[in-house]
Amino acid sequence: MEPQNHTEVSEFLLLGLTEDPEVQLSLFGLFLSVYLVTILGNLLIILAVSSDPHLHTPMYFLLCNLSFTDICISTTTIPKMLVNIQAQNQHISFTGCITQVCFVFIFAGFENFILAAMAYDRYVAICHPLRYTDIMTPRLCVLLILLSLLITSGVSVLHSLMVLRLSFCQDLAIPHFFCELAHVIKLACSDTFINNFLIYFFCGLFAGVPLCGIIFSYTQIVSSVLRMPSVEGKVKAFSTCGSHLSVVSLFYGTVFGVYISSLVTDSSRKTAVASTMYIVVPQMMNPFIYSLRNRDMKAALRKLISGYLLFCHCAFYAGHGV
């Protein structure tokens, strides 16, 4: 088979999760609902934190960035899938595919670093409470966010440029609902050793380093909490970590689940179905986890919703001249 140079590639074919039209219709409704819930839930988190001065702390600043990242990940992948199902056209342009690869890598890596930063915040709050305000300064929080975003953006651009140098064969079908870097590279006819090496290296770096940081932080937290004399103090300390632990377990649990499923099955379609767990589910569930398990967040959300309803009530009567 003659290789096709990347300059002649105009588009890829996204095979999606199924070819059954009836199932596709059901998937459209499901993913549209999931996307709307994800956007609404994470926007509520951001608005609640922004509107309540009591929540202007490092922990909630990082939570806002987590919600923003969840919105970006979902927006990078789900709308294109919905458009393809609605238009009955599974094609995506070469530029659009590379752009999607770039942004998925940026925000997936960014989420790893944010979760690690949130674990460090809990570590400082529990293990060094008297120095918390001195360590977790607004400047440090902003620096952590900017540095994480800079690193993930730089690596993502590097991956995108490495894909641009590849030559592709005639078969340009991607067994997924979005352009995932590993699947795009598999379609290349030219040597992909460097590309694959970079994927394993940076995925190990982006997942391994933050995960090690999270494990270290919680090891220190558990050790510190067990030394507390008061049972009430132990419960309170663990309760402050409950939401973050749930989010970390959900995120890394789904990622490892997809990795294991790819090892036990040869079906690319089944792997694509499994990958929806880490690219869709955590982003939707994070707002629920933080709003249901966090008393301050629930109070802020109630205040936000009450204020909105009051505004609508006043606007309604003002509009009717009452």
Q: What burial letters (b/e) apply to 11-28, b meaning 16+ CB within 10 Å?
A: ebebbbbeeeeeebeebe
Assigned domain for 255 exists? no
Residue 266 domain-assigned?
Answer: no
Residue 269: the pLDDT is 65
Please state whether beta strands 91-93 and 11-14 pair in parallel, antiparallel, or not at all (unpaired): antiparallel
Indicate whether 254 belongs to any domain.
no
316 φ/ψ angles, rounded to the nearest 5 degrees: -65, -50
Helices then strands, counting H and E runs in the chain, come out as 11, 5
Residues in a beta bridge with 295: none
d(Cα 230, Cα 211) in Å, to the nearest integer?
Answer: 30
- Asked whether residue 166 is domain-assigned, the answer is yes
Residues of the chain with pLDDT under 50: 1-7
Do residues 253 and 289 touch, judged by C-beta distance below 8 A?
no
Domain hosting residue 194, numbered range? 4-249+280-319
Q: What is the pLDDT of residues 40-99, one digit of tens each?
A: 999 999 998 998 888 899 999 999 999 999 999 999 999 999 999 988 888 999 999 999
CB distance 77 to 2 below 8 Å? no
pLDDT given at position 2: 43
Is 300 among the domain residues?
yes
Structure confidence at residue 316 (pLDDT):
59
Number of domains the chain is built from: 1
In the prediction, which pLDDT does 305 show?
79
> pTM above the 0.85 mark?
yes
CATH assignment of the domain containing 187: 1.20.1070.10
Q: Is residue 259 part of a domain?
A: no
Taking the mean position of all CA atoms in its chain, how far away is CA 304?
Answer: 25
- Maximum pairwise Cα distance, the chain: 76
In a domain, 284, yes or no: yes
For residue 63, tell me if it sits in a domain: yes
